[in-house]
């Protein structure tokens, strides 16, 4: 366990270092000048130069890279060039939406996908399988922003139960905040659940064909107990891998849904920062997303270890 941890931590540091280099220098070659974007077409050249100096983007590239990395090492994410406020504050506010949203969407994904996948595998070829895989097809085919708008039309415009979007903040009433995240989470969960239910079905069917399942059946274990105790546990390895990928995607990849529900999440911040060439924010966010993916993969590995003793021995 310990060697694996230190191995993983070294991997995390290496990944982040590589990501810092790539994100810094890749963004340097991006066409576009933050000063010009801020000042528009009427700005004179001397004004642009003054703005570049004010934003600190006229300094040499290497100097800015070292400043940035040194800042990160001391826990300073820097100041947004465009907004003029600390990046850490912006990221904190956005995480307060994006993480709960991802968490809720992930929970809904699992709650929808697991039963559907299990039912489909248990009744392979039967009507339950047909219905479940029909759901998966539809879920994959419907774009999530479209589904989101349909949800808004029904629950916000017609029934008036929730507002069409926006976020009231956690300080007033946490239930309102959770309510504001429910529809976007559901919109996000639909296609993710469609993917996951197919994975669950496939993984279960594979393990159901194994010898030990036949043995369990032969010794008289009931069909539901076979699935719950033997098959599902073994099928969890591919399933948890996909779940890990899905969670990482949900944290960073909900830009479209954030736009539909006008939620101030991380995805929108990232896109806006790219358009404004607020490069320090883009770099901090890319690095953070890289860190999140590495951490989620690490968590998935820990889960492997917990559910499969063989994984422990092999390491």
- In the complex with another protein, the residue whose CB is nearer, 73 or 159, is 159
Size of the site for another protein (CB under 8 A): 59
- In the complex with another protein, the residue whose CB is nearer, 114 or 271, is 271
Question: Cβ–Cβ contacts within 10 Å for residue 77, how many?
Answer: 22
Least distance in Å: CB of 20 to another protein? 22
Quickly tell me which residue has 């415009």 as its tokens: 157
Least distance in Å: CB of 257 to another protein? 10
* Residue 45 CB burial class (10 angstroms; 0-12, 13-18, ≥19): exposed
Q: Which of residues 11-40 bind another protein (CB under 8 A)?
A: 30-33, 36-40
Q: Which of 156, 213, 221, 299 forms a contact with another protein (CB under 8 A)? A: 156
- In the complex with another protein, the residue whose CB is nearer, 19 or 90, is 90
Least distance in Å: CB of 100 to another protein? 15
Query: Applying CB under 8 A, does 138 fall inside the site for another protein?
Result: no
Q: Which of residues 86-105 bind another protein (CB under 8 A)?
A: 90, 93-94
Per the structure block, which two tokens stand in for 107? 């929970």
User: What letter would DSSP give residue 162?
Assistant: S
Q: Could you give the CA distance from residue 291 to residue 242 in angstroms, rounded to a whole number?
A: 18
Per the structure block, which two tokens stand in for 249? 């995607």
Q: Could you give the CA distance from residue 245 to residue 296 in angstroms, rounded to a whole number?
A: 8
Whether residue 258 contacts residue 269, with contact meaning beta carbons closer than 8 Å, is answered with no
Per the structure block, which two tokens stand in for 165? 């979007």
Q: Which of residues 168-187 bind another protein (CB under 8 A)?
A: 169
Q: Could you give the CA distance from residue 182 to residue 101 in angstroms, rounded to a whole number?
A: 8
Q: Which of 78, 117, 139, 165 forms a contact with another protein (CB under 8 A)? A: 165
| 49 to 88: interface string for another protein, x by CB under 8 A | -xx-xx---------------------------xxxx---
Least distance in Å: CB of 249 to another protein? 17
Q: Is 265 left (phi over 0), alpha (psi -120 to 50) or beta?
A: beta
Q: Which of residues 206-245 bind another protein (CB under 8 A)?
A: none
Q: Which of 150, 178, 225, 306 forms a contact with another protein (CB under 8 A)? A: 150
Q: Which of 9, 47, 66, 70 forms a contact with another protein (CB under 8 A)? A: 47
Q: Could you give the CA distance from residue 14 to residue 12 in angstroms, rounded to a whole number?
A: 5
Q: Is the dihedral of CA 82, 87, 93, 98 positive or negative?
A: positive
CA distances from 71 to 77, 79, 100, 210, 282 (A): 6, 11, 28, 54, 15
DSSP calls for 201-219: HHHHHHHHTSHHHHHHHHT
Whether residue 187 contacts residue 151, with contact meaning beta carbons closer than 8 Å, is answered with yes
Q: Which stretch binds another protein (CB under 8 A): 119-127, 151-159, 215-223, 233-241?
A: 151-159
Q: Could you give the CA distance from residue 117 to residue 119 in angstroms, rounded to a whole number?
A: 6
Q: Which of 250, 260, 282, 296 forms a contact with another protein (CB under 8 A)? A: 260
Least distance in Å: CB of 228 to another protein? 40
Q: Which stretch binds another protein (CB under 8 A): 2-10, 16-24, 65-73, 275-283?
A: 275-283
Per CB under 8 A, residues contacting another protein are 30-33, 36-44, 46-47, 50-51, 53-54, 82-85, 90, 93-94, 143, 145-146, 149-150, 152-154, 156-160, 163-167, 169, 256, 259-265, 268-269, 272, 275-277
């Amino acid at each position: 366990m310990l060697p694996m941890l230190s191995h993983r931590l070294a991997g995390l540091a290496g990944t982040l270092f590589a990501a810092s280099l790539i994100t810094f220098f890749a963004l340097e070659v991006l066409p576009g000048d933050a000063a010009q974007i801020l000042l528009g077409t009427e700005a004179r050249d001397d004004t642009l130069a003054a703005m570049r100096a004010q934003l600190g983007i006229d300094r040499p590239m290497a100097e800015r890279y070292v400043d940035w990395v040194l800042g990160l090492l001391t826990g300073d994410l820097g100041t947004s060039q465009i907004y003029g406020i600390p990046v850490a504050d912006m990221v904190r506010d956005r995480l307060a939406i994006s993480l709960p949203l991802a968490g809720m969407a992930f929970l809904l994904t699992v709650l929808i996908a697991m039963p559907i996948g299990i039912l489909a595998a248990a009744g392979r070829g039967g009507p339950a399988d047909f219905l479940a895989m029909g759901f998966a097809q539809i879920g994959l085919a419907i774009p999530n922003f479209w589904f989101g708008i349909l949800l808004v039309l029904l629950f916000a415009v017609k029934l008036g139960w929730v507002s069409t979007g926006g976020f009231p903040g956690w300080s007033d009433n946490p239930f309102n905040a959770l309510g504001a995240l429910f529809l976007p989470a559901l919109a996000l969960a639909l296609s993710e659940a469609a993917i996951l239910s197919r994975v669950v079905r496939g993984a279960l069917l594979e393990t159901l064909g194994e010898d030990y399942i036949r043995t369990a059946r032969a010794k008289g274990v009931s069909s539901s107990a076979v699935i719950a105790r033997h098959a599902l546990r073994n099928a969890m390895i591919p399933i948890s891998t996909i779940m890990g990928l899905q969670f990482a995607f949900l944290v960073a990849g909900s830009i479209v849904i954030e736009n539909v529900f006008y939620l101030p999440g991380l995805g929108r911040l990232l896109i806006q920062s790219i358009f404004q060439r607020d490069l320090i924010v883009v770099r901090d966010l890319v690095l953070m997303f890289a860190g999140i993916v590495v951490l989620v993969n690490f968590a998935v590995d820990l889960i492997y270890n917990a559910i499969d003793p063989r994984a422990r021995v092999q390491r």
